[in-house]
Structure 1
Amino acid sequence: MSAEEEVTRIGKKLEKMIDKKECDHASAVDILKVLKEQRMRLEVLQKTRIGMIVNNFRKASTNDEVITLSKSLIKSWKKLLPADQSTAKNSSSKPSTDGSGDHAEKANSEKSSTSEPSTPTAAPKQTSFPLKAADTTDSVRLKCRELLLNALKVEDPPEGAGDPDEIAVAIEDCIFAEFGNTEMKYKSRVRSRIANLKDKKNPQLRENVLCGYILPEKMAKMTAEEMASEDMKKLRAKLTKEAINDHQMATTSGTKTDLLKCGRCLKRNCTYNQVQTRSADEPMTTFVFCNECGHRWKFC
């Protein structure tokens, strides 16, 4: 049996235990120890999504040893993340709200005796491990987290996607950390994230956030231009260029001529301007304006 098949088999066992909500702790510990002995590779992590399964199993368990072993596995797999993502997460991490606060101190004291060293191998492109954020009871913040979660949820999540709930919490927490309150600027920032994540014409943004290509810290601070789809960016660039050309024409007195004929009204009452839109060694571009119907065109 290959490593991928073995990890998949173990993952199915853990999912059955989660669904039944009844766990034989001794069996669970044995399964996690077998999983820890597996030589984990990037491809296996991505295809089996075992990281998310173990994390969900940890949340569902109340046994200290199961929680400690699960955390140890997740910590060792986190070392497979890219160096730049790991650094970004460590520099912006906050107190965890993963529901294991009551066990944290005891788990840390037992980690040295239960965890085994693991050797980092290749680095994956995305992460599906728990993100850390501060807990809150503020009704406004909780509502914003709920709206962000709804914007992130999809019926068919992409391969390797993280937990939308944890990502939404992390994005909101980063926004709140920047403003320190839930006033107008905070709400405006949250609304812009929600609108862009729900944009049906820009599904790539939501997929990048779910797969970890865009970290919550970056998503919390991105401008509207940065979040826009590629088509929207091209359209904005085109409109900006046209606006610049129109401004140049407006500030330059045109030359009237009857040598040019309007293609719309077929009259010869026109005004033209010449603007250097290309490099200096290229000829100037002639822009023509019909004084009769207002039609503009570029004359080559």
Structure 2
Amino acid sequence: MDVKAINEAKTALQKAVDTGKNEEVIDIIVQLKKGVKPTEALLRDTRIGVAVGKLRTHKSDAVARAAKELVGVWRNVVKPAEAKPSPSAAATPSGKSATPSGKSATPSAPMSKTNSQATTGASPSMVRNVETDGVASKVMCRDDRTRNQCIKLMYDGLAFDQSAPSEIILKCAMKIDEEMYNLVGKEVNKTYRDRMRGLLLNLKDKKNPALREAVLNGSIKADRLVNMKPDELASEEKKHEAQKIKEHNLFLAQSATNTGAVTDLFQCGKCKERKVSYYQMQTRSADEPMTTFCTCTVCGNRWKFS
């Protein structure tokens, strides 16, 4: 699939998600798995990885499982190849390296675990932080202790389930600190601490991997991240919950005096009468149907549908 086809598939995927067509969503994911030959540049330019990554927390287990599988495949393809031991260093059954003469050679010192992780990134199943990645000393780069601590926390939040190289994660964490510091007037004040704390809560959310990936792959730049509102930073699950609460509050806030039009088209499910007042409101995106709020004028029962 070329860039155009991938973008068309991304649009179709979003439409299928918005309309709740889970089977169609899975079919598109399967097509992407078969047709896309992933490269870091391709995934960054099309942002298809971000679109699929969001579905890993989908309420449908089948959709979430398919999305996780595809993201895992792409991640394994594009992540830097780990260094392979040379044939001459292959171990013999006795556990020692063999030389061409057949004599045992002194084994070379094993590569430091932290150094290896710092270069290539740890396994996504491993909980990562500045200590496990061996970059604790590099984090202490600011003159202010609070800023250094915030960079450390940003690193931990970005890294804990990601496989990106530690250099990229550290660069992102430092850039976030720099942008936030500039945004609040170049002072380490209460606003700086509170906003960094809010960012950390969203970055560390286990159900919000799409945000971490978007920051690390550059889809969301640090200057935009520090200006994003809490509802923009939230995971898809929390956004869905917030939308449900918003609709519920709109429903409860219906004015008793503003009863709307009365019709006999609807039947009350409680008293079975057909004296129902109703009004409609656009509570979701513009391409979604309007929500109809109904109130029975006989018994006061309320309900809604869209």
Larger Rg: 1
The normalised TM-score by structure 1 is 0.45
